[in-house]
Amino acid sequence: MIWFVTKRFVQAILVLVVVALIAFAMFRYLGDPVNMMVGIETSIEQRDKLREQLGLNDSVVVQFGRFLERAARFEFGISYQHRKAVSALIAQRLPATLELSLVSVILALAVGIPMGVYTALRRDGLLARIFMTVSLIGVSLPTFLIGILLILFFGVILQWLPTFGRGEVVNIGGWTTGLLTPSGLQALILPAITLAIFQMTLVVRLIRAEMLEVLRTDYIKFCRARGLRTRSIHFRHALKNTLVPVITIVGLQLGTVIAFAIITETVFQWPGMGLLFIQAVTTVDIPIMAAYLMLIATFFVIINLIVDMLYFAVDPRLRVQS
């Protein structure tokens, strides 16, 4: 086990270096950050000086080396636009993104699992067909469109829910949370649904397919033969065995949800990291982009590691083999 974790750790560092390298190779095609940092009337000499001071005239290799050296000390520099330490900026925005992502994954599971089980058990039922059609729409509609439709319906027409932002937040030791105030909870509903819909449909389809397979296996037949209650067969025996692939997918998806919260955050002006990143892209704020990409890569690596370790916990066969 320890060997396994160490091996993963070394791999993780390698992944991070590669991510940083690719990122740096791409930054030069984004445009000139200096023009984004000054007003239109700023003289050419001033612009040149700034470019020199920021080290933008150095070759990509030198810039990359400098970044690595600093990153090893967990220093990510000062944002060009915000003139604020990037680590502090990200720390400020992280809670918003994590809260949104976790709530939406929980939502996706809470709604997706029962729906998946139901559609598997009542394959030809009317409701099951409706669920499947709805989930098809969920998979095929782009997130930003869902977001805008929700805003239009619940925000503008019905005026039940706020259309943007995070509402009032409470600061608990540096972690801002919107879960404790009414306006924070209200503000969370639409973005969480928007972000959850795709995951939810994925879970529904996954559970349904796995469930159908498990229900055909012999031990389920034995269960029936033993005269166990249907409910107990479905939920205690069948569902439990469908969960291994679900854990994998949901775990990996959690990383995706955090990374792709960008679109939802943009549509709802949700003050998370994704919004910070997308603004950094338009203004070529290299320190923010670099730090964000590294952080997301780290998330993926950690989540993968946890998922691998969860297998050990859930599936006894793996423990026997190792």
Partner 1 sequence: MTIKTFLRSACVLLALALILPAATATAQTTLRYAFQGGANSLDPYSLNETFTLGFLGNVYEGLTRRGPDLEIQPALAESWEIVEPTRWRFHLREGVKFHNGNDFTAEDVVFSLERVQAEGSDLTTRVPSDVEIEVVDDHTVDFVLSAPNPILHAEWDTWYIMDKEWAEEHDAVMPTSASGDNESHATFNTNGTGPFRLTDHEPDVRSVMEVNEDWWDEPQHNLDRVVFTPIGSDATRVAALLSGEIDMMYPVPVQDIERVNGNDGTSVMTGPELRTIFLGMDQKRDELLYSDVEGENPFKDVRVRKAMYQAIDIETIKSRIMRGLSEPSALMLSPLMFERSDEFERHPHDPEAAKALLAEAGYPDGFTVGMDCPNDRYVNDEQICQAIVSMLARIGVTVDLNAQPRAQYFAKVLASGGYDTSFYLLGWTPGSFDSHNVLVNLHGCRDDSGKGGPFNLGGYCNEKVDELTAKIGTENDPEKRNDMIAEAFRIIHEEVAHIPLHQQGLAWGVSDNITLEQRSDNQFMYQWVRKD
Which residues are at the interface with partner 1 (CB under 8 A)? 29-44, 46-48, 50-51, 53-54, 77-78, 80-85, 89, 92, 148, 151-152, 155-156, 159-166, 182-183, 185-186, 266-269, 271, 275-276, 278-279, 282-284
Strand, coil or helix: what is 296?
helix
Considering the complex, what minimum distance in angstroms separates the CB of residue 160 from partner 1?
7
For partner 1, which is the closer residue by CB, 47 or 237? 47
H or E element at residue 171? strand 170-172
For residue 215 the two structure tokens come to 């229900």
Minimum separation from the CB atom of position 239 to partner 1 (A):
18
φ/ψ (deg, to 5) at 12: -60, -45
Minimum CB separation from partner 1 for residue 243, in Å? 19
CB of residue 100 vs partner 1: minimum separation in angstroms?
A: 14
Considering beta carbons, is residue 144 or 222 the nearer one to partner 1?
144
State the alpha helices, DSSP H only, in 28-85: 33-37, 44-53, 60-72
Closest residue by Cα to residue 272 from 146, 187, 156: 187
* Closer residue to partner 1 in complex, CB, 81/253: 81
Residue 94 beta carbon to partner 1: minimum distance, rounded to whole angstroms: 13
- The residue behind tokens 């030791």 is 173
At its nearest, how many Å lie between partner 1 and the CB of residue 162? 6
Alpha-helical (H) ranges within 165-237 are 182-215, 218-226, 230-232
- Taking phi first (over 0 means left), then psi (-120 to 50 degrees means alpha), and beta for anything else, what does residue 284 get? left
Q: Find the shortest distance in angstroms from Cβ 301 to partner 1.
A: 28
Among residues 313, 315, 277, 302, the alpha carbon closest in space to that of 5 is found at 302
- Hunting for tokens 């819909």 — which residue is that? 197
- Cβ-based nearer residue to partner 1, 182 or 245: 182
Residue with tokens 């509609």: 141
First-to-final CA distance of the chain: 9
Report the residue number, 155 or 248, with the smaller CB distance to partner 1: 155
* CA angle (209 as vertex; 207, 210 as ends), nearest 5: 65
Residue 106 or 314: the one with the smaller Cβ distance to partner 1 is 106
By C-beta, is 206 or 286 nearer to partner 1? 286
